[in-house]
Structure 1
């Protein structure tokens, strides 16, 4: 569980990132979850954009992705989700 200070720090780090995944009409599928899990292991902090044709609510999509990838939901802002998961092999982000 992240503290408020850690969440603020991660939001600041994620500001310059561009979304590397998109969730659309198909929603969240197992292949997408696997790819996001691998991306989190490599990068620790990622942004995901939700397309306008997504059928589910953006908060529900964010919670589903967070639960299935076993990552921390940092923020949902507009149609963008920020996820964080500490890497086992490539730890780069040091939380305050």
Structure 2
């Protein structure tokens, strides 16, 4: 799914108050980590990930890994933080996506 500029602005505004709930460290990226992130995105729809200084990867590596191995959209990368979005499979958790798709 391709997001428009308005939709990305809406998501960035909603993510302003969020804290990162996942981090990428020296263990790097793997399928188990991505599965956990996918579950969190499915429950919350909007998730921030931080990249630790000790990590062997940068934001571009994380972005490419997530986009190539899942349906999650990378909305924004700033510094060592990556913002992710995907519509929840549970209709009860679709608070943010309702606003996104109404734009």
TM-score past 0.5 threshold: yes
Following TM superposition, by how much is the alpha carbon of 1:69 offset from its aligned partner in structure 2, in angstroms?
A: 3.0
Structural RMSD (CA): 1.0
Q: 1:92 aligns with which of 67, 79, 95?
A: 95
Partner of residue 55, structure 1: 56
How many residues end up aligned between the 2 structures?
96
Q: TM-score under structure 1 normalisation?
A: 0.94
- Tell me how far apart the structure 2 counterparts of residues 22 and 74 of structure 1 sit (CA, whole Å): 17
Following TM superposition, by how much is the alpha carbon of 1:50 offset from its aligned partner in structure 2, in angstroms?
A: 0.1
Alignment of 1:1-96 (within 5 A): 1-89=2-90, 90-93=93-96, 94-95=99-100, 96=103
- Tell me how far apart the structure 2 counterparts of residues 48 and 65 of structure 1 sit (CA, whole Å): 11
More displaced 10-residue stretch of structure 1: 59-68 or 6-15:
59-68
Following TM superposition, by how much is the alpha carbon of 1:29 offset from its aligned partner in structure 2, in angstroms?
A: 1.2
Q: TM-score under structure 2 normalisation?
A: 0.88
- Tell me how far apart the structure 2 counterparts of residues 9 and 26 of structure 1 sit (CA, whole Å): 33
